[in-house]
Amino acid sequence: MNTMHEWAIAEAIAEAVSKYSESRGSRSVKRLIIGLGELQAIDREIFEFALSEIFKLYRLEVLEYVLQSEEAEFKCRSCGFSWRLRDLELSDEDREAIHFLPEAVYAYVKCPKCGSLDYYITKGRGLSILGVEY
Ligand SMILES: [Zn+2]
């Protein structure tokens, strides 16, 4: 898997945290909490390494990273039904495929209530900064 992805995300996070810290006049973060979407294909080890390297470049000290998984949620546009991946009976291979290529979710998952493919991902896609503690 291409590791540029992890570095690009780490850099975006470092930039946001750096700006926020500057506005508070601090260069030291006690705890940084990051939400990792279930549908975000990311290598945690590479990502954590990228974060620590990039924060050094930004001259920002982060004492602790907390990576929290965020479960994916879907909502059907046709019938309004909401569901999560674990509500579905997916084979392990299908689950794996979705984790490696989240865009493929539409090939494996349809609305469990009405069978529509016209649904959207309400949670668990991408990454978010959940908290910065000083
Ligand atoms: Zn539906």
Distance (Å) of CA 132 to CA 18, 31, 36, 112: 11, 6, 15, 37
For residue range 28-81, list pLDDT tens digits in order: 999 999 999 888 878 889 999 999 999 999 999 999 999 999 999 999 999 999
pLDDT value at 1 more than 60? no
pLDDT at 112: 95
Ligand 1 geometric centre to CA of 42 (Å): 29
Using one digit for the tens of pLDDT, what is the confidence trace for 86-107? Answer: 899 889 998 888 877 777 889 9
* Alpha carbon of 113 to ligand 1 centroid (Å): 5
CA separation for the pair 78, 117 (Å, rounded): 9
105 CA distance to ligand 1 centroid (A)?
A: 15
Domains, the chain? 4-71+124-133 (3.30.2320.50), 73-122 (no CATH)
Q: How far is the CA of 26 from the centre of ligand 1 (A)?
A: 48
SS3 84: strand
- Ligand 1 centre and the CA of 97: distance in Å? 23
